């Protein structure tokens, strides 16, 4: 792994989860000394839901998962790291079909029960021989812990990312565990990079899909590192049903609210970990927009601020250049009134009513920007719309990582 991000968080204690057995192996998709294929076997009866990239140039894996999700059941997950298999035509599709067929034969299920995700360089077909050899090694490997799985799915990640939540459904404790990878090419238009959630709760596929889509809108779709939506973005949730609760089918069921809250909390933890590992990042930035005409308008303005290279480099330089925030608000194409606009860094309002606050004390602002966590607030003064998004600063490290990515 590259040097660890200064914003990194330790990997939590993720317990084994009944009905899900992870294993890792070396397919050697790249010349590296590490595992790069993850295989998670899932018990019969496992429900699945997912959110996938809205990119118009998706990988064959995304197309495969999109079709398989309509059936709502899963028996395995296969994740390849080091090769995204995107923009590879018929050869890429053949690789996905081969992986699904081999995993299905091993488990005695249908190929449509196998979910596949790949991440890495775009434009290089996934070598079928390496994938099949890696799968055979994973089939024979002992079960691993979630940390090993999180490490195996990474590419430019500097630290493994995971999260855990619990909820009570009908008197039974259920567990939700998740791992995610992502560091660059992060501007999810659905989800972000590759994220996988496993729970022992029993949840009907349609309801699980409803809950994941709702959680995604407030978590994964509220982060950005560089404004670039990947061809391979995938978040999948698997519910094995081994906790023994009565299956959740709607919010009318006891425990549904608690499970929904736990799922969203888990997604938020995972999403923020990706931002904390933004390529070259040194600061974690929260952008809060209030007073917009609608929540959707607030979200678009917040993302305009979060994606602005000028705002991000100002934060990297610890410069409270609020004029760049004004620029980002104005270019968003959303309703705004210059003379009602208010901007703050941390708790200090620096601009209000269309101009700088006369004589404001820069000392607390400078101190706030020296920290690893920075908050930018904008109030539009137009309505009740609000949104919060998360991003990171833009440093020389981002250029270095991406200029050398294929070499």
Helices in 241-316 by DSSP H: which ranges? 256-276, 295-306, 309-316
pLDDT tens-digit readout, 219-262: 999 998 766 655 668 999 999 999 999 999 999 999 999 999 99
pLDDT cut 90: percent of the chain above it: 82
Asked if residue 110 has pLDDT above 60, the reply is: yes
What does the pLDDT read at residue 226?
A: 67
What does the pLDDT read at residue 188?
A: 54
**Banded pLDDT at 156 (limits 50, 70, 90):** confident
Active-site positions read 192
Q: Tokens 């790249």: give the residue.
A: 30
Task: State CA 166 to chain mean position distance.
Answer: 20
Mean pLDDT across 387-394: 94
**Banded pLDDT at 407 (limits 50, 70, 90):** very low
Q: State yes or no: 224 annotated in a binding site.
A: no
pLDDT tens-digit readout, 314-347: 999 999 999 999 999 999 999 999 999 999 999 9
Asked if residue 186 has pLDDT above 70, the reply is: no
Determine which helix (DSSP H) or strand (DSSP E) holds 339, and give its type and residue range. none
Q: State yes or no: 80 annotated in a binding site.
A: no
Q: Strand, helix or coil at 287? A: strand
pLDDT tens-digit readout, 88-97: 889 999 999 9
Q: State yes or no: 279 annotated in a binding site.
A: yes
Q: State yes or no: 402 annotated in a binding site.
A: yes
Mean pLDDT across 206-222: 95
Q: State yes or no: 181 annotated in a binding site.
A: yes
What does the pLDDT read at residue 227?
A: 62
> What gap in Å lies between CA 393 and CA 309, rounded to an integer?
8
Query: Which domains does the chain possess?
Result: 20-276 (3.60.70.12), 284-403 (3.10.20.340)
pLDDT tens-digit readout, 282-311: 999 999 999 999 999 999 999 999 999 999
> What gap in Å lies between CA 50 and CA 69, rounded to an integer?
7
Asked whether 373 and 354 are in contact (CB, 8 A), the reply is no
What does the pLDDT read at residue 190?
A: 43
pLDDT cut 70: percent of the chain above it: 93
Helices in 158-294 by DSSP H: which ranges? 205-218, 256-276
Q: State yes or no: 373 annotated in a binding site.
A: no
What does the pLDDT read at residue 256?
A: 98
Mean pLDDT across 66-86: 96
* Average pLDDT, rounded, for the chain: 92
What does the pLDDT read at residue 232?
A: 65
Nearest to 58 by CA among 194, 229, 216: 229
């Amino acid at each position: 792994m590259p040097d660890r991000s200064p914003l990194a968080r330790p990997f939590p204690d993720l317990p084994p989860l009944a009905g899900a057995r992870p294993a890792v192996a070396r397919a050697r998709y790249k010349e590296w000394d590490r595992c790069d294929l993850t295989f998670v076997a899932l018990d019969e009866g496992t429900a699945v839901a997912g959110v996938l990239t809205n990119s118009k140039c998706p990988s064959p894996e995304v197309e495969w998962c999109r079709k398989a999700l309509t059936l709502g059941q899963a028996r395995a997950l296969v994740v390849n790291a080091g090769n995204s298999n995107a923009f590879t035509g018929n050869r890429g599709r053949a690789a996905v079909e081969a992986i699904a067929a081999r995993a299905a034969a091993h488990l005695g299920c249908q190929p449509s029960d196998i979910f596949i995700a790949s991440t890495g360089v775009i434009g290089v077909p996934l070598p079928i021989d390496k994938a099949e050899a890696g799968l055979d090694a994973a089939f024979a490997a002992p079960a691993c812990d979630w940390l090993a799985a999180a490490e195996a799915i990474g590419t430019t990640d500097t630290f493994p990312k995971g999260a855990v939540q619990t909820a009570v459904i009908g008197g039974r404790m259920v567990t939700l565990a998740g791992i995610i990878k992502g560091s660059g090419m992060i501007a999810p238009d659905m989800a972000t990079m590759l994220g996988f959630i496993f729970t022992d709760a029993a949840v009907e596929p349609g309801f699980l899909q409803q809950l994941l889509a709702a959680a995604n809108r407030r978590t994964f779709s509220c982060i950005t590192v560089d404004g670039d939506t990947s061809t391979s973005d995938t978040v999948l949730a698997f519910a094995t049903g081994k906790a023994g609760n009565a299956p959740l089918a709607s919010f009318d069921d006891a425990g549904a609210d608690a499970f929904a809250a736990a799922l969203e909390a888990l997604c938020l933890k995972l999403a923020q970990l990706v931002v904390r590992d933004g390529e070259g990042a040194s600061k974690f930035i929260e952008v809060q927009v209030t007073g917009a005409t609608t929540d959707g308008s607030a979200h678009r303005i917040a993302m305009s601020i979060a994606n602005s290279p000028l705002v991000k480099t100002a934060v990297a330089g610890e410069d409270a250049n609020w004029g760049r925030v004004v620029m980002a608000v104005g270019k968003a194409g959303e309703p705004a009134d210059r003379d009602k606009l208010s901007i703050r860094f941390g708790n200090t309002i620096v601009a209000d009513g269309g101009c700088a606050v006369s004589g404001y004390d820069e000392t607390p602002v400078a101190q706030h920007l020296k920290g690893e966590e920075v908050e930018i607030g904008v109030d539009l003064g137009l309505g009740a719309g609000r949104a919060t998004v998360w991003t990171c600063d833009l440093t020389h490290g981002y250029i270095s990582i991406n200029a050398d990515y294929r070499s």
